Amino acid sequence: MKKITQIPRIFLLALLLTSIAGKAQNPYQNTLIMNDAVGQINSMLVVDVELCNYDLVKDVTFDVPLPDGFTYVAQSAIINPARSRNHYVISGVLTNTNILRIIATNNSLLPLIGNSGIILSYTLTTPDQTGVYELNFENAFATWGSGSYCMFVPDTINGIATIIQNIQLLPGDSNCNGSVNVMDIVITVKYMFGDNPQPFCFENADLNEDGIIDITDAVNTVNIIINRR
Ligand SMILES: [Ca+2]
Ligand SMILES: [Ca+2]
């Protein structure tokens, strides 16, 4: 019996260490990525926007038509300090529309730091209906350059917001979907690598209740899955 349980353990750990890639993107393009997010009804939902940029990028502007039932939390869009060189965000819903416009810019000629990762996050209030909602980019463009500016249209990868009734407390259920399986190992490992997965239920993931998420919690999640077989 012991031999049988060791095989999936190795498999799951291998999967765990090779599963930290995000949405597919071309490294030679400039791509804006709306990260998927999961939240509860009548609550708040934080949405992360990534930029994978082959070129230097100074400013980024895009619109997001908000799905029915969602509203933008005023001034909630914030730049990721890890990618900011004095950047700041201007944001708001265009008058008499449901279109959120977000502009990340600065008053210098300095580009955003790095070539990948989250550039900003914004917060929406969620509807009272569960469901899967589209978060799509419109009118995205970016600028770069020093002296003379170049404006270009980046590729975009849209995201979805999944709104559920309740986020359950269930040990090992790090992605808060009510069950414990391999995806929870993936999410826990992503969190360990600083990927900020959404949703992430810290209390469910921190299985040894020491206040940090590390390999011990990932292994304990593997054990939960194995031991119930
Ligand atoms: Ca789960
Ligand atoms: Ca822990």
Least confident of 14-18, 143-147, 192-196, 212-216: 14-18
Cα 21 to Cα 214: distance, rounded to the nearest angstrom = 18
CATH number of the domain enclosing 109:
2.60.40.680
Same domain, 143 and 61: yes
Residue ranges with CB less than 5 Å from ion ligand 2: 206, 208, 210, 217
In angstroms, the CA 157 to CA 226 distance is 36
**Residue 41 burial by CB count (10 A; 0-12/13-18/19+): exposed, middle or buried?**
middle
pTM over 0.85: no
Find the ligand nearest to 209 CA: 2
The confidence band for 145, taking pLDDT boundaries of 50, 70 and 90, is low
Which ligand has the nearest atom to the CA of 203?
Answer: 2
Q: Do 148 and 221 belong together in one domain?
A: no
CATH of the domain at 209: 1.10.1330.10
Lowest mean pLDDT among 22-36, 88-102, 187-201: 22-36
Mean per-residue pLDDT of the chain = 86
Ligand nearest to the CA of 192: 2
Q: How far is the CA of 158 from the centre of ligand 2 (A)?
A: 33
Q: How far is the CA of 173 from the centre of ligand 2 (A)?
A: 13
Q: Which of 42-56, 118-132, 142-156 has the highest mean pLDDT?
A: 118-132
Question: Could you tell me if residue 17 is inside a domain?
Answer: no
In a domain, 3, yes or no: no
